[in-house]
Amino acid sequence: MINLHKPYFNIQTDLTNIKNILNTKWISSGKYNSTFEKTLAKFFSKRYAATASSWTTAAYLLLKILDIKKGDLVMLPAFTFIACANVVRQVGADVVFVDIGENDVNMDFEDLKRKFSNRVKCIMIVDQIGVPIEVEKYIKFCRKKKIHLIHDIACSLGSKYKGVPSGSSSEFLITSFHARKVITSGEGGALICNSKKIINKFNSLKSHGVDFSDYARKNSRYKIKEKFKEIGFNFRYNDLQAALCLTQFKRINKAINIKKKIANFYIKNLNKKFVNFLNLSRSKKLNWQSFLIYFKDKYKRDLVYRNLIRNNIECKCSISSCYNQKPYFRNLKKLNRTKKMHDTSLLIPMHPYLKKKDLKKIVGIINSVY
């Protein structure tokens, strides 16, 4: 089986950090988590970062802190994973789905302007499959409307827009360390921003509403007595997870360079008479988390999909879009490009362990359909 995705681990290096943690006997959130948070903040030129148990819990807490609630609307792309819509519903607000651009996987700014209303309190933009969104116009729009901008960079860690990490100029960044991401600890997420007040609130809520972390109290030799000032959750991340991500972070450019060569092979060798690629400007440098191709119609996409699966090549029909799932049927309004991309696109294998023979096999099967 040729897998769609594989995490890029270095067993010897990654295990060294894990062994060090096990030797200290402190495996909850501590030194490694703190180092990882500082690494994330520095990478995006932000003052603070705070980890959480997942993208979903991080986004949920941020929405709660921003007082997004019942009666409010949050705008987000229809062509994105259901977690983005679910967290909005979980805080009591509702979603407004925005269509994607032509030959694009990201939100269409013109459609957003058409669907905007005074009930919108927040806009959530997404770098789908690692493609950076053109963020400046959303920043300017949100400032003008005096609403918050949340940038979902779960897929784009390592991608660059105009020479800097995608998301660097956004107000709030939420990322993920799920197994499908460029760096992973199996699960996990983080909030990255410049607001000390919001980070402190976030850290308190993710740990039952406590005022000081366990690690801070340990370092004080337990002279600090914890106080629980509000009702919180257990959405914490631990040092074992942080250690895995820290070692992968050091290899992120190597992983991206390997995947860039794989992407170039696909682009060069797939039959361009039948296979379509996204139009990417020079200002966007991808991390190649995923490789998406699309076809003229659903029939041709499904034909290629069946042939790849029959030959033990893992692939996926489109991304897992939220717009066409049962909880959101009533939110559907003029999403023609989203529907077309969902019906005609295919994700094919993309990870650093792919060999030349694997790539030739994949390309050969796709091209042979025609």
One domain, residues 235 and 298: no
Q: Does 4 fall in a domain?
A: no
Q: Does 146 fall in a domain?
A: yes
The alpha helices in the chain, defined as continuous H runs, are 11-24, 31-43, 55-65, 82-90, 109-115, 136-145, 196-205, 214-219, 239-249, 252-269, 298-310, 336-344, 356-368
Q: Does 162 fall in a domain?
A: yes
pLDDT tens, residue by residue, 154-181:
999 999 999 999 999 999 999 999 999 9
DSSP 30: S
Neighbours of 162 (CB within 10 A): 16
Closest alpha carbon to 348 in 236, 227, 262: 262
Q: Is the predicted pLDDT of residue 225 greater than 90, yes or no?
A: no
Q: Cβ neighbours of residue 330 under 8 Å, at least 6 residues apart?
A: none
pLDDT tens, residue by residue, 281-305:
999 999 999 999 999 999 999 999 9
Q: Is the predicted pLDDT of residue 333 greater than 80, yes or no?
A: no
One domain, residues 178 and 321: no
Domain count for the chain, please give it: 2
In the listed set 249, 268, 303, which residue is the last one of a domain according to the structure?
249
Cα of first residue to Cα of last residue in the chain, in angstroms, is 23
Q: How high is the pLDDT of residue 24?
A: 84
Q: How high is the pLDDT of residue 328?
A: 87
Residue type at 295 in one-letter notation: F
Closest alpha carbon to 105 in 258, 234, 291, 242: 291
Q: Does 5 fall in a domain?
A: no
One domain, residues 68 and 177: yes
Q: Does 262 fall in a domain?
A: yes
One domain, residues 291 and 350: yes
One domain, residues 154 and 259: no
Task: Give me the DSSP letters along 190-227.
Answer: EEEES-HHHHHHHHHHTBTTBSS-HHHHHHTTT-SPP-
Specify the 3-state DSSP secondary structure of 136.
helix
What share of the chain has pLDDT > 70, as a percent? 96
- Give residue 289's domain range: 252-368
What share of the chain has pLDDT > 90, as a percent? 83
One domain, residues 45 and 155: yes
Q: Does 233 fall in a domain?
A: yes
Q: Does 94 fall in a domain?
A: yes
pLDDT tens, residue by residue, 83-140:
999 999 999 999 999 999 999 999 999 999 999 999 999 999 999 999 999 999 999 9
Question: Which CATH number characterizes residue 274's domain?
Answer: 3.90.1150.10
Q: Is the dihedral of CA 26, 58, 260, 4 positive or negative?
A: positive
Question: Which CATH number characterizes residue 227's domain?
Answer: 3.40.640.10
Summarize the chain as % helix, strand, coil (round to 5): 40, 15, 40
One domain, residues 166 and 130: yes
Q: How high is the pLDDT of residue 11?
A: 86
Q: Worst-scoring range by mean pLDDT, 227-241, 258-272, 325-339?
A: 325-339
One domain, residues 67 and 94: yes
